[in-house]
Structure 1
Amino acid sequence: MKKTLTALTLATASGAAFAHTGDSAHTHGFLAGFMHPFTGLDHLLAMLAVGAWSVRQPNAQWLPATFIGMLLIGMASGALGLHIPGLETGIALTVALMGVLLVAATRLPAAAGTVMVSVFAILHGNAHGQELPQAVSAGGLLAASLLLVYGGNLLARVSPALAVKASGVAIAATGVMLTATA
């Protein structure tokens, strides 16, 4: 466990790997959209963390689906040209907060959890929508996001609580680093 945590810490300390770099190199095709969430540590960790955190929440079965639905709305807003002020910082803060929620094993009332996850998804979706405005790319991004959110959910179901908390520490630390560099 110590080696795994050390490796994860070193990997995340290598620098901020934002998926939304502002270039247009990733605007073509399903595969580009599918790979997009895997190329940015902020999006990758946020989606895995939302899935993992949702396991122990009231109405947990709805949180991953809510995240994906609101991600789509956020993507549409980005594709239509809506620019959210402080977007990079907001996204980094979602990673930090999700990590803290995992570490503390925080349970929120269903409505509060749903609103929080929805806001997080809109932020992440808006960034993706600005970079992947094509519908076919958006389809790939949604498919990958489904895998990540439900993958995080599955991992939390089969992992010991201590492992989930340890991953929360790494996610929170990464979120703090990303916030500092946003």
Structure 2
Amino acid sequence: MNNRALTTLGTTALMALTPGLASAHTGLGHVDGLAHGFTHPLGGLDHVLAMVMVGLFAAQLGGRARWLVPTSFVSVMILGGALGLAGITVPFVELGIGLSIVVLGGVVAFNLRAGVAVAMALVGFFAVFHGYAHGAEMPENASGLAYGLGFVLATAMLHAAALGFGLLLDGKSGTRGALLVRSLGAVAAVAGVGVVTGLV
């Protein structure tokens, strides 16, 4: 898949997510499992920041990492979601989510290079915590399968939007675009510190 196709995919995903961001986490009335699962990742700044950082990280790495890194996150997140649905305890979930923003934001900010396998393992580690949170917070009246599909779709779209945005900046703006991406990583890392310390 070339840069133009990835950019188009990311832009489309971003446009599709815009209405969802406005109504995320309403928590009112009966909510369909798919819709609730889709809006759940969009309702928390912590989840959004981490997922955007995964997409930007993949864009910075380029090559096969553009699809393998986000795929790793989504795949392991599904496992974490299953653990949450099953009621199996995973320790330090909130800390893991907060640290995911700090670490992934820092990786993007410093434009750190990693092999594809290392990058996949890094995002996969943090995906367990995000998936667990989604699964554990599923409402009792929601279908587990529909809810899971919803949060997987939202996550994949956030990754795609960030990946497309990162590639667009890299292709159109050169050094300035790369600097903007790195600045977004720095902002996310600082926000992550706020999440970990409870200030955000």
Q: Same fold (TM over 0.5)?
A: yes
Query: What SS is found at the alignment partner of 2:40?
Result: helix
Q: Answer yes or no: is 1:30 the counterpart of 2:34.
A: yes
The one-character-per-residue Cα deviations of 1:4-39 (angstroms, maximum 9, x if unpaired) are xxxxxxxxxxxxxxx99xx9x897521111111110
1:114–1:80 Cα change, 3 Å = same
Amino acid at match of 1:36: H
What is the aligned partner in structure 1 of residue 197 from structure 2?
180
What CA distance in whole angstroms lies between the structure 1 residues aligned with 2:161 and 2:126?
18
Aligned to 2:5: none
- Which of the residues 159, 163, 175 maps onto 1:153? 163
**1:55 match:** 59
Residue 110 of structure 1 pairs with residue 127 of structure 2:
no
RMSD: 2.2
- SS of 1:55's equivalent in the other structure is helix
Between 26-35 and 167-176, report the one with greater CA deviation: 26-35
**Aligned-residue identity in percent:** 32
Residue 185 (structure 2) pairs with residue 168 (structure 1): yes
Corresponding residue for residue 138 of structure 2? 132
Residue aligning to 1:119: 125
State the secondary structure of the residue aligned to 2:114: coil
What is the rounded CA distance, in whole Å, between the counterparts of 1:138 and 1:170 in structure 2? 30
Q: What residue is the counterpart of 2:17 in the other structure?
A: none
| Superposed displacement of residue 148, structure 1 | 0.3
CA shift at 1:76, angstroms?
Answer: 0.7
Query: Which structure would you say has the larger Rg?
Result: 2
Q: Distance in 2 between matches of 1:131 and 1:59?
A: 33
Cα distance change on mapping 1:59 and 1:176 into 2, 3 Å: same
Describe the shift of the 1:154–1:26 C-alpha distance in structure 2 as closer, same or farther (beyond 3 A). Answer: farther
Aligned to 1:42: 46
TM-score by length of 1: 0.82
**Consecutive unaligned residues in structure 2, runs of 5 or more:** 1-23, 170-176
**28-37 vs 86-95, which moves further:** 28-37
Equivalent position to 1:142, from 147, 152, 156: 152
- Cross-structure match for 1:95: 101
Q: CA deviation at 1:59?
A: 3.2
**TM-score, L = length of structure 2:** 0.75
CA contact (8 A) 1:95 1:172 kept: yes
Structure 1 residues 106 and 152: CA distance shift in structure 2, 3 A: same
Partner of 1:13: none
Q: Is the 8 Å Cα contact of residues 56 and 163 (structure 2) preserved in structure 1? A: yes
After the TM superposition, list the runs of 4 or more consecutive aligned residues in structure 1 that deviate by more than 3 angstroms.
25-28
Aligned residues: 161
